Chain A
Amino acid sequence: MFEIVKKEWLHDVIFLIEIKAPEIARKIRAGNFLVLRMRDGAERIPITVAEYNREKGTVTCIIQVIGQSTKLLSTLEEGDQIKDVVGPLGKPTHIEKYGTVGIVSGGLGIPLANLVAKELKEAGNEVIGMVGARTENLLVWEEEMSQYCEEMAYCTDDGSKGMKGFTTHLLEEKIAELAKKKKKFDLIFTVGPTIMMKFVTQITKKHNIPTVASLNPIMVDGTGMCGACRVTVDGQIQFACVDGPEFDAHLVDFDELINRLEQYKKHEKVAFDKYDKECGGKHK
């Protein structure tokens, strides 16, 4: 059992939980992920990590309520226990001194990008953050991330914070701005909605900028066993849980990944509606 030592709502549908998991906290690094199972009968869900504290032995996750499992998780409070937490899974982000690194992130990708920014800065990189969300309230953890970035640019679909538009626009602008100074990105790291990563990759391909994407396929075990998380990279099947979750974005078949993420939409709705009915809509 894993205790929730802190819980905080960041928005109507976004919350933070800090979980006591000393064995995981002692080793976790940027790019790793966890698999949680809330109770008997619950799904195993992969979750990224926003922050960790090795001394306290805790890991912090930021979660958006999107389906039945995340809704169930959102009902747990400080002092409550999560049945199973597994990790650190996946390969950590490959960190080295690249030079100028752009991090393009959207929505719930930003908390993960935060850890990557931190480690890249520590390795001596100049980090430029480009982050976005639908609207200002859905932009979370961007303040934390900004402390590791030389520059930070924001955008929202509705213009409520930063530029009105998408992160791809921020990226195009930054590339042009750097070019004027005879500079360029040595690496782009992207994490967020798959569709966003797809378009970010199209831009960086055009400009020939090496790009790493952190993928978020459906997973079951998270240890290489089931193959649910397979993605096609350079024409080969790769398992995101053990070979990734980060890959050379220029080689990733994003359309296939987008399709595969749709597989359980119908089931998700059934489960969500059933759960919602059971709770009588009482929870947040």
Chain B
Amino acid sequence: MTEKTEERRQHKRSEKTPVKTKMREQKPKDSIKNYKEVPFGYTEAEAVLEAERCLHCRRAFCQEGCPVEINIPGFIDAILRNDFKEGIKIIKETNVLPAICGRVCPQESQCEAACLLGKKEGWDPVGIGRLERFLADWEREHGVTTPEVAKPTGKKVAVVGSGPAGLVVAADMARLGHKVTLFEAFHKAGGVLIYGIPEFRLPKAILAEEVETLEKMGVEIKYNTVIGLTYTLDELFEMGYDTIFLGTGAGLPRYLGIPGESLNGVYFANEFLTRVNLMEAYKFPDGSDTPVNLGKKVVTIGAGNVAMDCARTALRLGAEKSYIVYRRSINEAPARQEEIHHAEAEGVEFHCLSSPLGIMGDENNNVIGLECQECELGEPDESGRCRPVPIDGACFDIECDTLIIAIGQRPNPLVPRNTPGLETHRWGGVIVNEETGETSIPGVYAGGDIVTGAATVILAMGAGRTAAKAMHEYMMNKK
């Protein structure tokens, strides 16, 4: 902290602006016609303006609120000094993927939730996520410096899955001088960041650059390789890997168990998004051979980020109506506020307190509608959210010709099923020591959605960081 910071600490709240510096964004009428990112990001001047809102608390609550404990006061201070290069360096000490986190982290329930400025009624917290994004984008425009790597340790690490957890482990391990091979089942790296999160929320070029940086650090990526099938974990050890990290994610759809889920025109969110994002079905037939079967009226069931992504993607693909059907009220929705805001602004219509009863089809087995039960809010359930209670006799139908089920994913079963001795929970998650990420097999670590079930990018990254640290110690102490 500089003297300037001390001086700024004297600034009173009355000298601050109560609301966040606005981020310019595409108008909804334009954004639904393209796949470009909706918010444009801050300019240098806007970033400094936003950084000036910081109260410079002596105890950094924001940092405590971050799962990877980014030195937030440090980078805000650097922005105030116009030293953006230093700012990004500070972030990268703890977060290797800031351009991604700045865009997809749920800051409102983490760092920004802890920000003292936002605690007062009518006041926004500092736009920490926006500032993180600004620094990462600034670096990309000004040339990314490849992180230095330690001299080779002679140890080999296998990272399974190139999603957020795997990317972090690969980066951390490479930085420590270990030889890293990243195994990916798909033909592109990124996991959920490439197949799940749409271009308009996370441009693929950003991800590609992050992956390129890893390769420059010496990480070898082996595509088209399904661990559990192409190679088992035992075979990886035989090939000379000293430790293995499992970051295979939540890749198995959850379904509702109501009639009609296999009608034509009914998608699981993962299929719909994979077709559009990874396989670029929005270009079909010019530039992509993978089609997506989209009607005019699209219903998405669920209210998480994935559901918002589906509902907004449907609009871009030309749907005239895009509905969200959710059994609780909007206040219980797991999606980020920003995503709900964008969905509403773009014209997605919400049917909350509506519980799906059955999917209706015509004589050709094409979906024609969804039957719903109206609900009211009851007592909170084990998740702490208010439980939807059916209102007697209040049922209604929504007409649709495409229906997307976006109610979450379960852990992918391929590695657990093909690895004797790897202990899992009954619901499929791999059991780990929370402090180290170590599984029931010595030398095998796991983190991210394969351990927790579908959660967030930053939690997966945090788990990756924890595991990387433990893996390093394990390898260096083993003779």
Q: Which residues of A contact B (CB under 8 A)?
A: 23-24, 27, 37, 41-44, 68-69, 72, 83-89, 220-221, 223-228, 230-232, 237, 239, 242, 256, 259-260, 262-264, 267-268, 270-271, 274
Contact = CB atoms under 8 A, between A and B. Distances in A.
Contacts of A260: 262, 264
Contacts of A271: 284-285, 289, 291
A11 to B, nearest CB: 24
Contacts of B414: 223-224, 242
A177 B19 CA distance: 85
B2 interface: no
Given A232-B262, A237-B255, A271-B284, A84 B223 contact: yes
Interface in B276-332: 279-280, 283-291, 293
B187 A220 contact: no
Interface string B148-191: 00000000000000000000000000000000000001110000
Contacts of A89: 226, 229
A281 to B, nearest CB: 17
A228 B271 contact: yes
Most buried by A among B284, B290, B414: B290
B293 A264 contact: yes
A209 B195 CA distance: 43
Contacts of B225: 23, 86
Contacts of B262: 230-232, 237, 256, 260
A223 B228 CA distance: 10
B187 A242 contact: no
Given A225-B270, A264-B293, 16 more contacts: A24-B230, A41-B283, A41-B289, A44-B279, A84-B224, A86-B230, A220-B274, A221-B195, A223-B414, A232-B262, A242-B414, A256-B262, A259-B364, A260-B264, A271-B289, A271-B291
A87 B271 contact: no
A34 to B, nearest CB: 10
24 contacts: A23-B231, A41-B283, A41-B287, A41-B288, A42-B289, A43-B290, A72-B289, A87-B226, A88-B229, A89-B226, A223-B226, A224-B414, A225-B274, A225-B412, A226-B270, A227-B252, A227-B268, A237-B261, A242-B252, A256-B365, A260-B264, A268-B291, A271-B284, A271-B285
Q: Size class of B's contact patch?
A: 35 or more
**Chain B interface mostly helix, strand, loop or mixed?**
loop
Contacts of A23: 225, 230-231
B263 to A, nearest CB: 8
Contacts of B283: 41
Given A24-B230, A263-B264, A226 B289 contact: no
A220 B293 contact: no
A274 B365 CA distance: 28
Contacts of A262: 264
A268 B262 CA distance: 20
B133 interface: no
Interface string B218-235: 000001111001110000
Interface string B227-258: 00111000000000000000000011101000
B387 interface: no
B275 interface: yes
Contacts, number: 118
Contact of A227 (B265, B271, B280, B365): B271
**Chain A interface mostly helix, strand, loop or mixed?**
mixed
A68 B413 contact: no
Nearest to B248: A223
A147 B162 CA distance: 45
A226 B271 contact: yes
Q: Which 10 A-B pairs have the closest CB atoms?
A: A267-B291, A226-B271, A225-B251, A227-B268, A227-B253, A259-B365, A43-B289, A84-B187, A86-B224, A228-B271
A89 B230 CA distance: 8
A220 B271 contact: yes
A112 to B, nearest CB: 18
Nearest to B222: A23
A27 B227 CA distance: 12
Contacts of B230: 23-24, 27, 86-88
Contact of B412 (A41, A85, A223, A256): A223
B251 to A, nearest CB: 4
Contact of B251 (A72, A223, A228, A264): A223
Contacts of A87: 226, 229-230
Contact of A224 (B187, B231, B252, B287): B252
B264 A239 contact: no
A36 to B, nearest CB: 10
Contacts of A83: 187
B429 to A, nearest CB: 15
Most buried by A among B230, B286, B364: B230
Contact of B274 (A72, A226, A231): A226
B434 to A, nearest CB: 26
B35 to A, nearest CB: 16
A56 B330 CA distance: 59
A82 to B, nearest CB: 10
A226 B265 CA distance: 14
Contacts of A72: 289
Contacts of A264: 291, 293
B412 to A, nearest CB: 5
A220 B417 CA distance: 21
A242 B274 CA distance: 17
A264 B255 CA distance: 22
Contact of A86 (B185, B413, B417): B185
Contacts of A37: 187
Most buried by A among B286, B287, B413: B413
Contacts of B268: 226-228, 230
A232 B260 CA distance: 11
A86 B195 CA distance: 17
Contact of B279 (A86, A220, A274): A220
Contacts of A230: 261-262, 268
Contacts of B229: 27, 87-89
A27 B230 CA distance: 7
A240 to B, nearest CB: 12
A37 B226 CA distance: 15
